Amino acid sequence: MKQKRRIFGGVLLVLLGILLLIRELKPAYFAFWDWPFFIIGLGVVFLLWAIISSKGGLAFPGTILAGIGGILYYQNLTNNWDSWSYIWALIPGFVGLGVIISGIIDRKYKDAITGGLTLLLISAVLFLVFGDVFGLQVEIAQYWPVLLILLGVIALVRALFSGKSKGA
């Protein structure tokens, strides 16, 4: 296992060095590349490490860092820093994605997918609710109650099916 980590670390450093060298020598190729990419990159490192080491728990910081880096990249690109008033609601969705990836890596599919999808749905509801209140300019924002209904239906179905399997 130590050898895998050393190989991973060495390959990662070589690739990062090559990328940064190209960025220094040919900056025009990286005009789109801004400081949030370092946060996204750190998240990707955690995700790769989770996959290589078969430790699903590393997927959580990976998805959170990559997601927040993506938010910051969007905000930096558009200069829409006011969007933080509602865009923060995507963070539980990043955790939900981490739960799903962690469950796949650890081979605990059922609970991970159920919990992860629930977090993604809650995140979507929060995003659309706060987005509707604080100025998200998307036509779908007015339909956020549909996600709330969907969340309620999922809760009802789970309650009905879990009650029958325990009683049988």
Structural domain contains residue 23: no
The pLDDT of residue 168: 46
Structural domain contains residue 12: no
Structural domain contains residue 62: yes
The pLDDT of residue 95: 95
Structural domain contains residue 154: yes
Structural domain contains residue 49: yes
Handedness of CA 51, 52, 58, 64 (dihedral sign): negative
pTM, full prediction: 0.71
How far is the C-alpha of 39 from the C-alpha of 44, rounded, in Å? 9
CA 50 to each of CA 43, 66, 103, 163: distance values in angstroms, whole numbers, following the listed order = 11, 14, 11, 35
- DSSP codes joined into one string, 19-40: HHHHHHH-GGGGTT--THHHHH
Structural domain total, the chain: 1
List the beta strands (DSSP E) in 59-147: none
Domain limits for position 72 = 34-161
Structural domain contains residue 118: yes
How far is the C-alpha of 164 from the C-alpha of 154, rounded, in Å? 16
Structural domain contains residue 25: no
DSSP tally for the chain: helices H, then strands E? 7, 0
Structural domain contains residue 44: yes
Q: 10-residue block means of pLDDT along the chain (168 residues)?
A: 72 78 77 80 90 89 95 90 91 94 88 87 86 73 72 77 56
